[in-house]
Amino acid sequence: MNRGAGRGDELLVTAHLENGRELLLVVDTGASYTLFDSSLAPLLGKPLGTARSGSCYGKTTITLYKAPKLYLGDTLLEIGDRITTSTQIQLLSNDLSRMTHTNRPVMGVLGMPCLKHYCVQLDFAAGKVRFLNPNPSNKDDWGKAFSLTAINGGSPSIRENLAGVKGRGTLIDTGCNFDGFLTPKLYRQWTNHVASPAPGQTRSPNGTLGGDDYPHLTLHGDGTFSGVGLSFLSRHLVTFDFPNRTIYLKRTSVGPLVDEEGEAAVKFLEDLRDRGQLPGWTKLDKGQITGFAYPTSGILEGYKSGDSAIYLYAVARTSKDGPWKLQRAWRTDRSDHLIEEFPAP
Lowest mean pLDDT among 124-138, 230-244, 301-315: 301-315
Q: Note the pLDDT of residue 292.
A: 67
Q: What is the mean pLDDT of residues 293-311?
A: 81
Q: What is the mean pLDDT of residues 240-244?
A: 97
Q: What percent of the chain has pLDDT over 70?
A: 95
Q: Note the pLDDT of residue 153.
A: 56
Q: Which of the four pLDDT bands, split at 50, 70 and 90, describes residue 328? A: very high
Positive or negative: CA dihedral 52, 157, 169, 288: negative
pLDDT score of 152 more than 60: no
Q: Note the pLDDT of residue 321.
A: 84
Average pLDDT over the chain, rounded to whole? Answer: 89
Q: Note the pLDDT of residue 223.
A: 84
Q: What is the mean pLDDT of residues 189-208?
A: 89
Q: What is the mean pLDDT of residues 304-328?
A: 88
Q: What is the mean pLDDT of residues 5-10?
A: 86
pLDDT score of 260 more than 80: no
pLDDT score of 332 more than 70: yes
Q: Note the pLDDT of residue 39.
A: 96
Q: Which of the four pLDDT bands, split at 50, 70 and 90, describes residue 62? A: very high
Q: Note the pLDDT of residue 55.
A: 79
Positive or negative: CA dihedral 124, 126, 129, 134: negative
Q: Note the pLDDT of residue 151.
A: 55
DSSP states of 56-91: TTEEEEEEEEEPPPEEETTEEP---SEEEEETHHHH
Given 3-state DSSP classes, what are the helix, strand and coil percentages for the chain, each rounded to the nearest 5? 15, 35, 45
Q: Note the pLDDT of residue 221.
A: 87
Q: What is the mean pLDDT of residues 31-57?
A: 91
pLDDT score of 25 more than 70: yes
